[in-house]
Amino acid sequence: MLVARAARGHNRAPVADPVSAPALRTDRISRTLAGHRVVDALSLDVARGEVLGLLGVNGAGKSTTLRMIAGVLAPDAGQVLLGGQDLYEAPELARRGIGYLPERAPLHAELAVDECLTFCARLHGLPRRDTVAAVGREIERCDLGEVRRRLIGQLSKGFQQRVGIAQALLHAPTLVVLDEPASGLDPVQSLRMRELIRALRADHAVILSTHLLAEAEACCDRIAILHRGVLRHDAAVTAGETARLEQLFLRIAADLDSAAA
């Protein structure tokens, strides 16, 4: 039953119209790493203004999926479509529509926060005249004002994650890809991170990976559960569903583990 639900969207033709097309569509993307099928024929849609949570246990294929969506790792098969355009056909242009925060924030410890963000803005193709405004806007949005002149290597994990999110937002991307953004944060920092992610919905489509059900429920409009690279569940989520999601999560893991045995 779960597999049948997950099959929703397979065999869909790419949508060419960038206006009506979803912000993100993955069309049966697969990836094998070191001889192991990490992601298998995964199809997902993320609409503009939507936050999709990608859940799964460790090794479920979440990070690999996000890396393919961000254009850092090419899929073996299938397509990643951004606004209807194939990410790997015009990768340089398409990647400018994506903001990506990997599991470990890709920051240079030896640079100050504003120095690093200025570099990221320029790297994403922002003209020099717009860079100062964009950096100021994201420093304010991510609440980094008090540390903007400090070296990134001297910041706490929470601040580093916020700098990571700021760099992903500088160029106002259509799609924001966040890989375990609350990983390693204390409870207060996690709450702030959730608020920030919820606020992103206004301007971006967001896909985030997590293995924390409460976080997914708090931030996401829809949840997709991956297990061993296969999409097992894809449905909207409403408040107060943590217990139901927990049961579903355990059932998916148990179903597959017993099938494998």
Partner 1 sequence: MSAALVIAAHEWRRLRVQAWSWLLLAGVIGLLAWIFLGRLDSFLRVQESTGNAAHVGATAQVAAPALGWLAIVLIVLVPLLGSRSIAGERRAHSLSLLLAAGVGDGAIAVGKWLGLYAWLLLIALTALLPLSLYGSTELDLGRLAANGLALVLHAAALAAIALYASSVTAQPVLAAALALLINIVFCVVDLGARAAGVSNSLINWLALPTHFGPLSEGVVASVDLVWFVLVTAVFLALTARQLASLRSAD
Of 48-56, 95-103, 182-190, 196-204, which part binds partner 1 (CB under 8 A)?
95-103
The CA-CA-CA angle for residues 144, 149, 153, to 5°, reads 85
Q: Least distance to partner 1 from the beta carbon of 63, Å?
A: 11
- Provide the residue type at 145 as one letter: G
Q: Which is nearer to partner 1, 37 or 122 (CB)?
A: 122
Per-residue contact flags (x/-) with partner 1 for residues 55 to 94, judged by CB under 8 A: ------------x--xxxxx----------------xxxx
Q: Give the containing element (helix H, strand E) for 32.
A: strand 24-33
Strands 85-86 and 36-46, bridge-based pairing: unpaired
**Number of residues that make up the chain:** 261
The neighbouring-strand residues paired with 205 are 175
Q: Which is nearer to partner 1, 125 or 145 (CB)?
A: 125
Site for partner 1 contains 169 (CB under 8 A): no
What gap in Å lies between CA 256 and CA 258, rounded to an integer? Answer: 5
Q: Which is nearer to partner 1, 17 or 128 (CB)?
A: 128
**Cβ distance 43 to 9 under 8 Å?**
yes
Per-residue contact flags (x/-) with partner 1 for residues 120 to 159, judged by CB under 8 A: x-xxxx----------------------------------
Strands 77-82 and 85-86, bridge-based pairing: antiparallel
Q: Least distance to partner 1 from the beta carbon of 108, Å?
A: 6
- Give the largest Cα separation in the chain, rounded: 60
Q: Which residues bind partner 1 (CB under 8 A)?
A: 33-34, 67, 70-74, 91-96, 98, 100, 102, 104, 106-111, 115, 119-120, 122-125, 167
